[in-house]
Structure 1
Amino acid sequence: MGRKWNNIKEKKAQRDQDTSRIYAKFGREIYAAARKGAPDPESNQALKAVLDRAKTYSVPRHIVDKALDKAEGSDDDTYDELRYEGFGPAGSMIIVDALSDNVNRTASEVRAAFGKNSGNMGVSGSVSYMFDPKAVFVFNGFDAEETMLYLMENDVDVDDVTEENGFTVVYAGARRFHDVKPSLDEMGVDDYEVAETSMIAQSEASLDEASLEQFEKLIEALEDLEDVSDVHHNVNLGVQ
């Protein structure tokens, strides 16, 4: 798969710069996941996945506890999981995931962000066919060979294990997240750079300087939206 996790790394680095925004978004995700099932991560895999991802962003415990307490209370807020697809400068492809309590508002805001930043919304399926849903785990302390051997010995099915930028990277089908992570935990991994599911582009696009500048403004506008939880794309951001 090669360098595809780099775009996740770049996105994570950019979002880490605005901790208040990322903490607020995780609070909503944790609340929504807890409301859909039990507020116990041991019996609610969706909640466990969100909490695992929150840990890689160093979300404080009080943010997590506040969201869980709210889910256990009488609050009846409901959120819909939404996905939008569209195109950015030079035909770049973008998928926007959102968590919203007002579908019309969210759709309007996402459409406006595309329209004001050299992009346009597409219909469902217009770009997602060029992406694969993957579980991605990035860590150090174990090299790719010993990681692959451990997973094989424990009959854990993954797509690839590589070494990229000084980290070991494990790719698996998105539905395998809850099979792979416990095995990596048991192997001894306790500090993940990335542990999440993501839409990985089947091929990357490289943009010229002007188009890349427009593209980055579009991505920033989308990620700034309160309801948007994640943005996936196929652009090579040049991280080596």
Structure 2
Amino acid sequence: MAGHSKFKNIMHRKGAQDKKRSAMFSKLSREITVAAKMGLPDPDMNPRLRAAVLAAKAQSMPKDNIQRAIDKASTGDTESYEEVRYEGFGPGGVSLIVEALTDNRNRTATNVRTAFSKNGGNLGASGSVSHGFERLGLIEYSAAAGDADKVLEAAIEAGADDVESDEDGHRIWTSVENLHEVSKSLEAALGDGEGAKLAWKPQTDVQVTGDAAASLLKLIDVLEEDDDVQTVWGNYDVPDEELEKLA
């Protein structure tokens, strides 16, 4: 198990999310409602709902908002959303997977295709890039949870498969089947995490710099600004110095 590997920049950048708190709360609410509707409205009995609530709490979403989103699932006062995945290629030869929850598949597909085409990318067919990723469970903790050795020890005890730590925090990887149990075990040892979810982990990373990095980050921003898009995963690694230039 790797305990000190670099914390890869494969998801949306948290700084960008801080500027979109209202939109983020809306997306978190949608995921909570969908999770509650698909299973029991009790986070302790519904792993997906538990993960969604954890993610909402990590972003300081008010308890009333969380409960209201859960209640919407039982009252029927909600749209019918379906999960859709899009795959494509971004600038610099990067592979991207876009996960969405939508009540209008045609609208979402058009918006995602337009985002790719206007920002140096190409939307591909289903399966065109996902073969280069592993479907795994991901549990995230901030650096405040402890140093790398403490988190690694807790992860081993919990039955996790891998850990990546750096000064920004810890990413703990596990199988899809073990995500719920590993998450609960880690909570007992480290407290509440920043999130627990199903993730796409790239098998190899592509370093992106210069104009390609700028275009790629613009594409990701446009995708994340879409109300239907929940998460954008990719196999890109933008060096810190490049991020500073583009900030």
Task: Tell whether the structures are fold-level matches, with TM greater than 0.5.
Answer: yes
| Aligned counterparts of 2:195 and 2:54: Cα–Cα separation in 1 | 9
Match for 2:147: what amino acid?
Answer: D
For the pair 1:26 / 2:32, whether they are aligned, the reply is no
1:42-57 to 2 correspondences below 5 Å: 42-57=44-59
1:44-76 deviations in whole A, cap 9, x for unaligned? 121111111112222122221221221121325
For the pair 1:165 / 2:188, whether they are aligned, the reply is no
Secondary structure of the 1:174 match is coil
Match for 2:234: what amino acid?
Answer: H
For the pair 1:7 / 2:10, whether they are aligned, the reply is yes
Say if 1:77 and 1:101, in contact at 8 Å, map to a contact too. Answer: yes
- Structure 2: stretches of 5+ with no match in the other structure: 242-247
For the pair 1:59 / 2:67, whether they are aligned, the reply is no
Say if 2:54 and 2:195, in contact at 8 Å, map to a contact too. Answer: no
Aligned equivalent of 1:221: 222
Higher relative contact order (CA 8 A, sep 6+): 2
Range 177-186 or range 69-78, more displaced: 69-78
Say if 1:6 and 1:239, in contact at 8 Å, map to a contact too. Answer: no
1:32-111 to 2 correspondences below 5 Å: 32-75=34-77, 77-111=79-113
| Aligned counterparts of 1:98 and 1:192: Cα–Cα separation in 2 | 23
For the pair 1:145 / 2:149, whether they are aligned, the reply is yes
Aligned equivalent of 1:208: 209
Offset of residue 91 of structure 1: 1.4
| Aligned counterparts of 1:191 and 1:151: Cα–Cα separation in 2 | 14
- Structure 1: stretches of 5+ with no match in the other structure: none
Say if 2:33 and 2:70, in contact at 8 Å, map to a contact too. Answer: yes
Secondary structure of the 1:39 match is coil
Say if 1:117 and 1:218, in contact at 8 Å, map to a contact too. Answer: yes
| Aligned counterparts of 2:231 and 2:163: Cα–Cα separation in 1 | 24
| Aligned counterparts of 1:39 and 1:107: Cα–Cα separation in 2 | 30
Match for 2:135: what amino acid?
Answer: P
| Aligned counterparts of 2:173 and 2:240: Cα–Cα separation in 1 | 19
Q: Structure 1's 166 and 224: CA in aligned 2 closer, same or farther, altered over 3 A?
A: closer
Q: Structure 1's 125 and 96: CA in aligned 2 closer, same or farther, altered over 3 A?
A: same
| Aligned counterparts of 2:91 and 2:171: Cα–Cα separation in 1 | 30
Q: Structure 1's 198 and 4: CA in aligned 2 closer, same or farther, altered over 3 A?
A: farther
Q: Structure 1's 39 and 194: CA in aligned 2 closer, same or farther, altered over 3 A?
A: closer
Q: Structure 1's 163 and 115: CA in aligned 2 closer, same or farther, altered over 3 A?
A: closer
Offset of residue 150 of structure 1: 4.2
Q: Structure 1's 96 and 166: CA in aligned 2 closer, same or farther, altered over 3 A?
A: closer
Q: Structure 1's 225 and 76: CA in aligned 2 closer, same or farther, altered over 3 A?
A: closer
| Aligned counterparts of 1:191 and 1:41: Cα–Cα separation in 2 | 14
Aligned equivalent of 2:244: none
| Aligned counterparts of 1:74 and 1:171: Cα–Cα separation in 2 | 35
1:179-226 deviations in whole A, cap 9, x for unaligned? 111111111x22534543321212211123111111111111111111
Offset of residue 117 of structure 1: 1.0
Q: How many residues align?
A: 236
Say if 2:139 and 2:171, in contact at 8 Å, map to a contact too. Answer: yes
Range 176-185 or range 159-168, more displaced: 159-168
Say if 2:139 and 2:183, in contact at 8 Å, map to a contact too. Answer: no
Match for 1:31: what amino acid?
Answer: T
| Aligned counterparts of 1:13 and 1:196: Cα–Cα separation in 2 | 20
| Aligned counterparts of 2:140 and 2:73: Cα–Cα separation in 1 | 28
Range 18-27 or range 131-140, more displaced: 131-140
Query: Aligned-pair RMSD on alpha carbons?
Result: 2.1
